[in-house]
């Protein structure tokens, strides 16, 4: 990292050998139902990956596997060289925004603080506030440019502001891998690209890998390295130009899908009907699931 | 000393109000039963302020309400068996908390389960009251509180339960905050969200059981919700909010008891009225401050 002047709490993570995430012939599902299978991919250090695909195809399931909240049905999955485990401090996680009560009377700064010590029993001594912890919280809030409103209640913030503080909470523990579940949902177009740029910038300055679930590739097109497409019971990964194409997506969905470009180079996937957007178990078990 | 004699003494020896508050209060506290009321009320207020913060944060007011009705059945059952009502309160509240915590993990499910338990427990309470020959006075004191009937043994038990409750909250403070605010991330960070839901229910049950002595089943919110709601209006910091809620609950209880001394009306009426007035006044004041700040900001911009 040459010329990095970002106020980092610790030095960027060393470029250790081996990928941050390694999946080999991975299958995911709940109970007897398989959602997708035969997924083989790596996530490299510092890489920004967008996870795309229709609703219900298993995008969030991929995050749950990485978080250790769900066990793989088969295959192997490693996070930083080890099987996924709940509470891995090397992972920063931002869930879908709607899981937080929007009216909650809780300050943004206290939310960020929970990312640092919320999992510890007991309480922090009110008599001896630790400066080092406060500094980490402040740095995380500065990193997402939220200092001016972090002490407001979450209920008094816009969706974009709340999303930034959730990102700060994920960053405060100094993770190596960021998992973001639809951080762009419910944001307007300008906020979407701002948020995408912010995540990319933070990831760059801290040498983080990012796995970001999204609905639309366009706000991310300038920042993603590779795209992970989850659809029709399988998972393919590669550069956007190779994955988000009429041929690959049609094969993945097992139905004719067309990728169109507008005059500014934005991609639009058309021709996905409801049936495929909410795959039935038999489609998930499907015979058309292809390995990349 | 029984309730009836306590009240008789209070009516026969009305120490008159003298504007010398210190000597007035000293005089009031020279009566054993009133001293016990101040002690038990104080303990309950501290517990209610702290637990109440989480009741408001977790939106568990309905659970608190239901637990108090479960306690009603317990207290009435204890009366039937000629056992001290506080034991019935404790046993039933804890049992109810375990059932509600275990059956209803998700919010929507939780409300349904709580409603079902609540209805059954009220029915049980009605049966116990009918079985009990002392009928109306006992029912009245369970429903609306009868703090002047608290014995020194009750005060000790209340103290024990109160200290235990505060210790429980202290032990699970940070993960409980995390799970209350942001359950998804908390779960990913290995916080035992489901266990904490049950543990909080149990803590709430203990707080409710001792608070019923002071304000009764029907007025439980005045201590478990109102002070924390007022605190929520004036501060945004969790720790500070708990301190404010405790101070407000203490003020409501003790001022209510002092006023109640001079009037032949139930103390719980005064306690709940002060709490209510405090909420209304605070709300109007906070809105006034916000409006003035907005006007100033507008002027600054011009």
Tens of pLDDT, residue by residue over A81-116, are 999 999 999 999 999 876 777 778 899 999 999 999
pLDDT at A184: 93
Residue A25 has pLDDT above 60, yes or no: yes
pLDDT at A272: 63
Average pLDDT over residues A240-262: 87
Cα–Cα dist B58/B181, whole Å:
8
B236/A67 touch (CB, cutoff 8 Å), yes or no: no
Q: Which of A99, A118, A123 sits opposite B189 (nearest CB)?
A: A118
Residue A129 has pLDDT above 70, yes or no: no
Q: Does the pTM of the predicted model rise above 0.95? A: no
pLDDT at A275: 47
Could you identify the residue written with the tokens 């983080």?
A208
The secondary structure of chain B in percent helix, strand, coil, rounded to multiples of 5, reads: 85, 0, 15
A94/B238 touch (CB, cutoff 8 Å), yes or no: no
Beta-carbon contacts of A132 under 8 Å, excluding residues fewer than 6 positions away, are none
DSSP character at residue B49? H
pLDDT at A7: 45
Report residue B230 as tokens.
Answer: 């007022």
When comparing pLDDT for A284 and A225, which is higher?
A: A225
pLDDT at B15: 62
Cα–Cα dist B231/A254, whole Å:
58
pLDDT at A56: 87
Test mutation, B182, B190, B196, chain A, max A CBs within 10 A: B182
Residue B288 has pLDDT above 60, yes or no: yes
Q: Which helix (H) or strand (E) holds B46?
A: helix B32-57
A118/B174 touch (CB, cutoff 8 Å), yes or no: yes
Q: Which helix (H) or strand (E) holds A227?
A: strand A226-231
Interface contacts A/B by beta carbons within 8 Å: 90
Q: Which helix (H) or strand (E) holds A200?
A: helix A189-206
Question: Which range in A80-89, A251-260, B97-106 is most confidently predicted, on average pLDDT?
Answer: A80-89
pLDDT at B24: 86
Cα–Cα dist B152/B145, whole Å:
17
Percentage of chain A exceeding pLDDT 90: 59
Average pLDDT over residues A39-57: 94
């Amino acid at each position: 990292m040459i010329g990095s002047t970002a106020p980092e709490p610790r030095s960027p993570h060393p470029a250790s050998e081996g990928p941050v995430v390694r999946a080999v012939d991975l299958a995911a599902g709940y109970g007897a139902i398989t959602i997708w299978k035969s997924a083989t991919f790596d996530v490299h250090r510092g890489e920004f990956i967008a996870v795309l695909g229709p609703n219900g195809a298993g995008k969030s399931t991929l995050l749950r596997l990485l978080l250790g909240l769900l066990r793989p049905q088969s295959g192997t999955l490693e996070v930083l060289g080890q099987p996924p485990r709940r509470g891995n401090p090397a992972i920063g996680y931002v869930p879908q925004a709607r899981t937080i009560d929007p009216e909650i009377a809780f300050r943004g700064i206290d939310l960020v603080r929970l990312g640092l010590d919320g999992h510890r029993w007991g309480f922090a001594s009110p008599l001896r506030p630790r400066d080092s912890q406060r500094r980490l919280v402040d740095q995380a809030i500065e990193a997402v440019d939220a200092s001016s409103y972090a002490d407001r209640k979450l209920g008094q913030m816009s969706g974009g502001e709340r999303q930034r503080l959730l990102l700060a909470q994920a960053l405060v523990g100094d993770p190596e891998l960021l998992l973001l579940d639809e951080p762009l949902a419910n944001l307007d177009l300008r906020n979407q690209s701002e948020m995408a740029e912010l995540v990319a910038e933070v990831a760059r300055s801290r040498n983080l890998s990012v796995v970001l679930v999204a609905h639309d590739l366009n706000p991310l097109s300038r920042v993603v390295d590779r795209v992970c497409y989850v659809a029709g019971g399988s998972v393919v990964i590669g550069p956007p130009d190779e994955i988000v194409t009429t041929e690959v997506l049609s094969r993945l969905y097992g139905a004719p899908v067309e990728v169109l470009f507008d005059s500014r180079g934005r991609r639009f996937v058309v021709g996905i009907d409801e049936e495929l957007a909410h795959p039935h178990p038999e489609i998930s078990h499907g015979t058309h699931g292809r390995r990349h | 000393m029984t309730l009836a004699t306590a009240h008789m003494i209070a009516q026969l020896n009305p120490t008159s109000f003298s504007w010398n508050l210190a000597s007035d209060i000293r005089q009031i506290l020279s009566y054993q039963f009133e001293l016990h009321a101040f002690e038990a009320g104080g303990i309950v207020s501290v517990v209610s302020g702290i637990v109440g913060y989480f009741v408001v944060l977790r939106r568990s007011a309905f659970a608190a309400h239901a637990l108090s009705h479960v306690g009603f059945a317990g207290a009435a059952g204890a009366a039937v068996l000629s056992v001290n009502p506080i034991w019935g309160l404790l046993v039933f509240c804890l049992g109810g908390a375990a059932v509600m915590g275990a059956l209803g993990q998700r919010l929507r499910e939780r409300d349904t389960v709580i409603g079902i338990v609540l209805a059954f427990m009220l029915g049980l309470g009605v049966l116990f009251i009918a079985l009990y020959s002392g009928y109306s006075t006992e029912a009245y004191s369970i429903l609306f509180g009868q703090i002047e009937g608290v014995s020194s043994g009750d005060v000790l038990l209340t103290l024990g339960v109160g200290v235990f409750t505060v210790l429980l909250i202290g032990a699970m403070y940070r993960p409980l905050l995390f799970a209350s605010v942001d359950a998804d991330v908390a779960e990913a960070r290995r916080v035992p969200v489901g266990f904490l839901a049950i543990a909080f229910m149990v803590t709430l049950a203990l707080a409710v059981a001792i608070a019923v002595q002071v304000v009764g089943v029907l007025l439980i919110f005045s201590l478990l919700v109102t002070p924390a709601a007022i605190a929520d209006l004036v501060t945004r910091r969790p720790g500070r909010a708990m301190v404010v809620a405790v101070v407000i609950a203490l003020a409501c209880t003790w001022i209510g008891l002092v006023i109640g001394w001079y009037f032949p009306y139930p103390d719980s009426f005064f306690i709940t009225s002060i709490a209510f007035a405090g909420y209304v006044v605070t709300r109007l004041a906070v809105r006034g401050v916000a409006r003035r700040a907005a006007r100033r900001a507008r002027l600054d911009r011009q």
